[in-house]
Structure 1
Amino acid sequence: MASKTVESHRAGAEVCHGDAECRKKSIELLGELGLPRNLFPLVDIQEFGYNRTTGFMWLVQKKSTTYTFEKIKRKVSYATEVSAFVGPRSIKKLSGVKTRELLLWLTVSEMFFADPTTKELTFKTPTGISDSCEASVFDLE
């Protein structure tokens, strides 16, 4: 079941169902926005939605998953629902994504390119902690 936030943005949104179609649409949207296309390597996606008017997107998967980005040896956890407001080269008010830092799981609330001349993607937590890495880490294999 989708959250109240998703339901409030559903009217007028492009919505698709099924893993293959949702994966394709989410990858297309990330590419269109100038973001790495493998930021959300979810498994068994049931629904993808994007409201172009509000910039709100969401992905719903059958169960939460953890993915390791091998190039940086970083584990990222994705909840059953991942949602955010997306725009050119940025993601804000992200929910459903955490990264493992030493022994702690930290919530990721934003992703953006701080400098348009570089390919370094910055990740920010709600507490203001941030880290950056090359966007190529998130390229599709």
Structure 2
Amino acid sequence: MASEREGAVVMKGHTEGMKQAGALLKEFGLPEGLLPLENVVEVGYVKKTGYMWIAQKKEVEHTFKLISKQVSYDTDIHGYIEVGRIKKLKGVKAKELLIWASVSDIILETPLTGKIQFKSFAGITKTFPVEAFAAGQ
């Protein structure tokens, strides 16, 4: 894991970490409300590989009201960010009926349709309107 983080820009603390996370989402064309986190300890990003991570003090559950979807964010979230996508994501789960499914990929549909896809390791794919993940939702 240490080698994945080599050369990273790391921001410590909730305010600076959330600024960096928001800036990364914006830079790569992803909705800025994808990460409604609390008590962020640090956010890191390796420009060369796209590897990013977020550490927070405790797990956070959030409900995206527009789509009535409950999502859980672990204390350690990491994956690889690129234009319109976060892949090999770990630490994010969405509630599907009675089970929590780990989200492995988040992909903006191309050509841009206003839709975003969430894929799980179990092979479940769900598509939602991008505006459901706008900042403040």
Identity %: 40
Query: What's the counterpart of residue 97 of structure 2?
Result: 102
Listed as ranges, the gaps of 5+ residues in structure 2 are none
Q: Does 1:33 align with 2:28?
A: yes
1:72-98 per-residue CA deviation (whole Å, 9 max, x = no partner) reads 111100110000101000110000000
Output the CA distance in 1 between the equivalents of 2:61 and 2:91: 12
1:40 deviates by 1.0
Output the CA distance in 1 between the equivalents of 2:122 and 2:3: 26
CA RMSD, 1 decimal:
0.9
Listed as ranges, the gaps of 5+ residues in structure 1 are none
Query: What's the counterpart of residue 67 of structure 2?
Result: 72
Q: Does 1:91 align with 2:82?
A: no
Task: Return the TM-score normalized by structure 1.
Answer: 0.93
Query: What's the counterpart of residue 137 of structure 1?
Result: 132
Task: Return the TM-score normalized by structure 2.
Answer: 0.96
Number of residue equivalences: 136
Output the CA distance in 1 between the equivalents of 2:5 and 2:86: 19
Output the CA distance in 1 between the equivalents of 2:108 and 2:94: 18
1:107-122 aligned at under 5 Å gives the runs 107-122=102-117
Stretches of 4+ aligned residues off by more than 4 angstroms: none
CA contact 2:5–2:51 (8 Å) conserved in 1: no
Query: Residue 109 of structure 1 aligns to a residue in which SS?
Result: strand
Question: Alignment partner for residue 50 of structure 1, among 45, 50, 59?
Answer: 45
1:113 deviates by 1.6
Output the CA distance in 2 between the equivalents of 1:26 and 1:60: 11
Query: Residue 123 of structure 2 aligns to a residue in which SS?
Result: coil
Output the CA distance in 2 between the equivalents of 1:96 and 1:140: 20
